[in-house]
Amino acid sequence: MNLNIGMALLLAIGMIGTAIMATRGKRSLGISILAAGLASLLASVMFLLLGAPDVAMTEAAIGSGLTTFLFFFVLGRVRRGEND
């Protein structure tokens, strides 16, 4: 049980860290997106700990996976536009 709590704490710290990374304006957008995806992925681990495997799967597949790709797709288009 303590192990779980410890892990949860670690995950929490990780999530907050990645979240701050994702929302700070200084880093490049790509890193922000990745950080957000990472936070989502950490969250899905957390979901597993919380006894929600369904949610964990969904979050991993949709929340962190697909969303991140969507972001990158758009980012790519916009970047290319910016370069032009």
Partner 1 sequence: MIKRFAVILLLLGIGAIFTGLMVNYVPDKALNVTARYYAEQTAPDLGAANIVTAIIVTYRGLDTLGEVTVLFLTAAIVGLVLARGSSDEAPARRDLPPPGELLLTGTRLLLPLILLFGAYVFTHGHLTPGGGFQGGAIIASGMLLMLLSHPLRRFGHRLIAIVESIAGLAFVGIGVLGIALAGGFLDNRILPLGTFGELFSAGAIPIIYTFVGLKVGAEFSSMLVNLSETEDL
Partner 2 sequence: MDLIAMATGFLLILIGLFGALTNRNILRMIVAFAVANTGVNLVLVSVGYMTGRTAPILDSAVPVAEATARVIDPVPQALVLTAIVIGVGVTALMLAYAYRLFKTRGTLDISRYTDLKW
Say how far apart CA 17 and CA 77 lie, in whole Å.
28
Distance of CA 38 to the CA centre of its chain: 3
| Apex 48 CA angle, 44 and 40, nearest 5 | 5
Q: Report the C-alpha gap between 40 and 57 in whole angstroms.
A: 11
Which residues from 47-66 bind partner 2, rule CB under 8 A? 47, 49-55, 58-59, 62-63, 66
Q: Using CB under 8 A, which of the segments 10-18, 27-35, 38-46, 66-74 binds partner 1?
A: 66-74
37-56 residues near partner 1, rule: CB under 8 A: 52-54, 56
Q: Decide if 23 contacts 32 (C-beta within 8 A).
A: yes
List residues binding partner 2 (CB under 8 A).
Answer: 4-5, 8-9, 11-12, 15-16, 19-20, 22-25, 29, 32-33, 36, 39-40, 43, 46-47, 49-55, 58-59, 62-63, 66-67, 70-71, 73-75, 77-78, 81
